[in-house]
């Protein structure tokens, strides 16, 4: 019989010790597996529910507009595409293992020490490295109620215990997190801005969190959407000032390179040294490294994409709100549209699909009455509002 993990989730609201986030993923100790085998998975692994990625397909519909994965609707910089094409002439060569050129570019563009940058196959890989390196059986890893799914998955993969802490009306609650910290806490993951809520907390709150955490714990600031926030450094200054703060970033969102899988992390030298010991020497292809560097250096295009997102995000949120579909002010490239209840959200999603529009259901993120809608280009935003208007008028 396949052995099932003894490590389940701990659910805390951080204040009273009672769970306010209705239970997900408790240990599946009694789950039956097909077939008898002496082969067992490591503790935690059988508690992992497979990551649900955003769909880009509707049966029988051509020209689908995909608004389910927070991709840049304008695509990557032309310079990045050229760099990718040029890399085709060196496919027989192994890629750079020290990734010095991309790290140097990140250092230049963001004003950081390149020696403390580490690159990963998406920031997903950096999250996995952090869990693998710093948490294991008996340790706890905190994430927030509507936090990104990979925190829980990577925690369980490392054999550690995920601890879910309630948010305050879809906003990270620093006090609840501090209350949930204890001697077993090894990592605290905060996405700022958060996915799928789009909300963020300010630098004073982040500093208070970093200062209040136990000494053995690392605060991970996930800045996958940080570039969308004009003037926000993603937590870089906090990393510089403290020994216990680490920042993750990605080329998958504003830079439009989701397909290439390039992310990076920035932290204190001692932490980066630990992570580099478990990083595969060739974890990123040369085409990915070159394209990311070219995208990073095309600052004019990046600014253009940020401005377009800002403009159409406001237009989309406002259009939906006028139809009775409110959302929190989003700082990212999506809007979390809230419907009256789960039924209305699901019906609207089904209707949008008949119109060729694919958005993201987020019941798995404990937001059953909401749909997460990526900010598309002008045409896509207009089509979404038009379709929701028809839906509200009874078209479904
Ligand atoms: C909050 C957050 N963090 C990290 C990631 C991972 O991005 P990637 O692995 O593409 O860098 C995502 C992707 O959706 C995300 O939403």
Average pLDDT over residues 178-205: 97
Q: How far apart are CA 326 and CA 39, in angstroms?
A: 50
DSSP secondary structure letters along 84-143: HHHGGGGTTSPPPSS-HHHHHHHHHHHT--GGGEEEESHHHHHHHHHHHHH--TT-EEEE
* Domain range list for the chain: 65-75+300-392, 88-297
* DSSP-assigned letter for residue 363: G
Which residues, at least 6 apart from 290, have a Cβ–Cβ distance to it below 8 Å? 83, 84, 86, 87
pLDDT for 35 equals: 58
**CB of 224 sitting under 6 A from ligand 1:** yes
What's the pLDDT tens digit per position in 12-30? 543 433 344 533 334 444 4
pLDDT for 278 equals: 98
Q: How confident is residue 36, by pLDDT bands cut at 50, 70 and 90?
A: low
Report angle CA 37, 41, 47 to the nearest 5 degrees. 120
Cis link prior to 251 (omega < 30° from 0)?
no
Q: Atom 7, ligand 1: which residue's CA is nearest?
A: 123
Which residues, at least 6 apart from 204, have a Cβ–Cβ distance to it below 8 Å? none
* DSSP-assigned letter for residue 168: B
Q: Does domain 65-75+300-392 have CATH number 3.90.1150.10?
A: yes
What's the pLDDT tens digit per position in 138-164? 999 999 999 999 999 999 999 999 999
Which atom of ligand 1 is nearest the CA belonging to 262? Answer: 11
**CB of 374 sitting under 6 A from ligand 1:** no
**CB of 191 sitting under 6 A from ligand 1:** yes
Which atom of ligand 1 is nearest the CA belonging to 261? Answer: 10
- The CA 392 to ligand 1 mean position distance, Å, reads 32
Cβ atoms of 251 and 228 closer than 8 Å: no
pLDDT for 225 equals: 98
Which atom of ligand 1 is nearest the CA belonging to 253? Answer: 10
- Which listed CATH number (3.40.50.300, 3.40.640.10, 2.40.50.140, 3.30.1330.10) goes with 88-297? 3.40.640.10
Q: How confident is residue 3, by pLDDT bands cut at 50, 70 and 90?
A: very low
Q: How confident is residue 52, by pLDDT bands cut at 50, 70 and 90?
A: confident
To the question of pTM greater than 0.85 for the whole model, the response is yes
What's the 3-state SS for 292-351? HHHHHHCHHHHHHHHHHHHHHHHHHHHHHHHCCCCCCCCCCCEEEEECCCHHHHHHHHHH
Which atom of ligand 1 is nearest the CA belonging to 225? Answer: 1
DSSP secondary structure letters along 193-218: S-TTT-----HHHHHHHHHHS-TT-E
Report angle CA 19, 25, 30 to the nearest 5 degrees. 120
pLDDT for 20 equals: 45
* Mean pLDDT for the chain overall: 92
Query: Is the confidence at residue 289, as pLDDT, over 70?
Result: yes
Which residues, at least 6 apart from 62, have a Cβ–Cβ distance to it below 8 Å? none
Cβ atoms of 64 and 56 closer than 8 Å: yes
DSSP secondary structure letters along 222-251: E-TTGGGSTT--TTHHHHHH-SSEEEEEES
Which atom of ligand 1 is nearest the CA belonging to 121? Answer: 9
Average pLDDT over residues 283-311: 98
Average pLDDT over residues 212-241: 97
- The CA 262 to ligand 1 mean position distance, Å, reads 10
- Lowest-confidence range among 17-21, 58-62, 63-67, 233-237? 17-21
Q: How far apart are CA 258 and CA 254, in angstroms?
A: 10
The pair of three-digit structure tokens given for residue 252, joined into one six-digit string: 């998958």
pLDDT for 34 equals: 57
Ligand 1 pocket check: which of 71, 224, 227 to mutate, most ligand atoms within 8 Å of Cβ?
224
| 246-255: b (≥16 Cβ within 10 Å) or e | bbbbbbbbbb
pLDDT for 375 equals: 98
Q: How confident is residue 392, by pLDDT bands cut at 50, 70 and 90?
A: very high
Portion of the chain with pLDDT greater than 70, in percent: 91
Query: Of 35 and 183, which is predicted with more confidence?
Result: 183
């Amino acid at each position: 019989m396949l052995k099932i993990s003894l490590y389940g989730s701990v659910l805390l609201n951080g204040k009273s010790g009672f769970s306010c986030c209705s239970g997900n993923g408790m240990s599946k100790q009694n789950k039956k597996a097909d077939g008898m085998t002496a082969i067992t998975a490591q503790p935690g692994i059988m508690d992992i529910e497979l990551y649900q990625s955003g769909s880009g397909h509707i049966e029988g519909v051509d020209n689908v507009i995909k608004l389910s994965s927070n991709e840049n609707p304008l695509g990557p910089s032309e310079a990045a595409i050229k760099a990718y094409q040029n890399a085709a002439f060196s496919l027989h060569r192994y890629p750079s293992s020290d990734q010095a050129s991309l790290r140097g570019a990140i250092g230049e563009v963001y004003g950081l020490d390149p020696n403390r940058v580490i690159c990963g196959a998406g920031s997903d890989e950096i999250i996995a490295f952090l869990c693998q390196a710093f948490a294991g059986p008996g340790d706890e890893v905190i994430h927030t109620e509507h936090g990104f799914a990979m925190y829980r998955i990577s925690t369980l993969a490392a054999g550690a215990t995920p601890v879910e802490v309630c948010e305050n009306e879809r906003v990270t609650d620093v006090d609840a997190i501090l209350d949930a910290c204890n001697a077993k806490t090894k990592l605290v993951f905060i996405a700022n801005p958060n996915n799928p809520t789009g909300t963020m907390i300010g630098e004073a709150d982040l500093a208070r969190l970093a200062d209040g955490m136990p000494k053995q714990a690392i605060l991970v600031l996930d800045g996958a959407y940080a570039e969308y926030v004009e003037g926000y450094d993603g937590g870089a200054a906090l990393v510089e000032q403290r020994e216990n703060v680490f920042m993750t970033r990605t080329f998958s969102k504003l830079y439009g390179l989701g397909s290439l899988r390039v992310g990076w992390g920035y932290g204190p030298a001692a932490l980066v040294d630990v992570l580099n010991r478990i990083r595969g020497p060739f974890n990123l292809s040369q085409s990915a490294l070159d394209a990311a560097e070219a995208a990073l250096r095309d600052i004019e295009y990046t600014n253009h994409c940020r401005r377009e997102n800002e403009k159409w995000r406001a237009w989309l949120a406002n259009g939906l709100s006028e139809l009775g579909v409110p959302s929190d002010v989003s700082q990212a490239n999506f809007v979390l549209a809230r419907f009256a209840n789960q039924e209305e959200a699901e019906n609207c999603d089904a209707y949008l699909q008949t119109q060729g529009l694919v958005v993201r259901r987020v019941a798995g993120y404990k937001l059953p009455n909401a749909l997460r809608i990526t900010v598309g280009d002008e045409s896509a935003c207009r089509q979404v509002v038009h379709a929701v208007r028809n839906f509200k008028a009874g078209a479904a």
